[in-house]
Amino acid sequence: MKRVLVFDSGVGGLSVLDAIVASGHALELDYVADNAWLPYGLKSDAELQARVPALLTSLVAQWCPQIVVVACNTASTIALDQVRAALAVPVVGVVPPIKPAAALSKTGVIGLLATPATVRRTYTNDLIAQFAADKRVVRFGSSALVEAAERKLRGEPPGKAAITEAIEGLFGAPGGAEIDVVALACTHFPLLAKELAVAAPRPAEWLDSGAAIARRVANLLIAEEGTARSRRAGFTDPAAARGHFPAFSDRGFTEFAAIQAAPGFAAVGV
Ligand code: DGL
């Protein structure tokens, strides 16, 4: 079976992993969360451009995936070129679903919900200029929502404050009352799609990139149809990740590993 390494700062990449599983391909899935550095959305561009390629280079050497999925908009929109330059295997990144959101909107007003880093990125501005120049894009950046998703996957209540703040930040902004499509441009946010939809003042489409990433992975690997098998999950701060182990076990992960800090990044069992 071809092996895929799914990478994120935390549990957000599980929304992408779930989409890969749902796509029905016989793939072996490994997952690594750089949770010692969560949230990426509050890190500088230079820090991410240095850390993410270094961490992935070491992981690819040890875990031998045939493809790496950077299941993190915040890392993809700033460090994808560096990651691709560093790795010998194909790399699939996740970028804000501006294009499908613009195509779907009837009112011409789309919401963009991402981390504080992703909403201000040149990459994001370029996507908007290319695919949504004739649309109004209402942006809101939230790191609190990332923490809320992390809580939810620990089995805790995500908390209303971050959800309410994000909904008000979008629908309460100038033009926001017309939003009919929201692009979820952080992989943590589809994990809160239900909570967000319930809190919204009007029905909207909540779009994420998971299914598109799953299609890209299957095409690049020429993967056979079948059932995906989750294998090993690694964490740069395994002690902090313990509360998340059940969410990984529920998804079929059977091995948990500690990913040591630079320069070694050696994986050891926990
Ligand atoms: N899941 C990540 C993303 O897609 C980022 C979360 C964080 O800030 O670490 O942007």
pLDDT digits (tens, 9 = 90+) for 12-40: 999 999 999 999 999 999 999 999 999 99
Q: Which residue has the higher pLDDT, 267 or 100?
A: 100
**Sign of dihedral through CA atoms 74, 161, 210, 269?**
positive
The one catalytic residue among 186, 200, 228, 259? 186
pLDDT for 265 beyond 70:
no
Tell me the mean pLDDT in the region 48-57: 95
Q: Ligand 1 pocket, 124 CB below 6 A?
A: no
Q: Ligand 1 pocket, 204 CB below 6 A?
A: no
- What is the pLDDT of the chain when averaged over all its residues? 95
Q: How far is the CA of 120 from the centre of ligand 1 (A)?
A: 14
User: Measured from the CA of 43, which atom of ligand 1 is nearest?
Assistant: 8
Q: Ligand 1 pocket, 49 CB below 6 A?
A: no
pLDDT at site 194:
96
186 is known as an active-site residue: yes
**Residue showing tokens 């994808």:** 80
pLDDT for 263 beyond 90:
no
Which residue from 11, 94, 188, 207 has its CB within 8 A of the most atoms of ligand 1, so it is best to mutate? 188
Q: Are 29 and 230 in contact (CB under 8 A)?
A: yes
Q: Are 53 and 83 in contact (CB under 8 A)?
A: yes
pLDDT at site 145:
98
Tell me the mean pLDDT in the region 68-75: 98
Longest dimension (CA), the chain: 52
Tell me the mean pLDDT in the region 89-97: 96
Those residues with Cβ within 8 angstroms of residue 227's Cβ, 6 or more apart along the chain or in another chain = 24, 26
> Binning pLDDT at 50, 70 and 90, where does residue 109 land?
very high
pLDDT for 75 beyond 70:
yes
Peptide bond just before 263 cis, omega within 30 deg: yes
pLDDT digits (tens, 9 = 90+) for 185-241: 999 999 999 999 999 999 999 999 999 999 999 999 999 999 999 999 999 999 999
pLDDT at site 176:
98
Q: Ligand 1 pocket, 141 CB below 6 A?
A: no
Q: How far is the CA of 187 from the centre of ligand 1 (A)?
A: 6
**Phi, psi of 162, rounded to the nearest 5 degrees:** -65, -35
> Binning pLDDT at 50, 70 and 90, where does residue 85 land?
very high
**Sign of dihedral through CA atoms 4, 8, 10, 16?**
negative
Q: Are 97 and 208 in contact (CB under 8 A)?
A: yes
Report the predicted TM-score, pTM, of the whole model to 2 decimal places. Answer: 0.96
Whole-number Å distance between alpha carbons of 193 and 46:
31
Whole-number Å distance between alpha carbons of 269 and 138:
44
User: Measured from the CA of 146, which atom of ligand 1 is nearest?
Assistant: 6
72 is known as an active-site residue: yes
Report the SS3 class of residue 56: helix
> Binning pLDDT at 50, 70 and 90, where does residue 260 land?
confident
Q: How far is CA 5 from CA 124, 126, 151, in A?
A: 25, 28, 23
Which residue from 17, 45, 74 has its CB within 8 A of the most atoms of ligand 1, so it is best to mutate? 74
Q: Which residue has the higher pLDDT, 270 or 162?
A: 162
pLDDT for 261 beyond 90:
no
User: Measured from the CA of 37, which atom of ligand 1 is nearest?
Assistant: 9
Tell me the mean pLDDT in the region 44-55: 94
Q: How far is the CA of 9 from the centre of ligand 1 (A)?
A: 6
pLDDT for 267 beyond 90:
no
pLDDT for 57 beyond 80:
yes
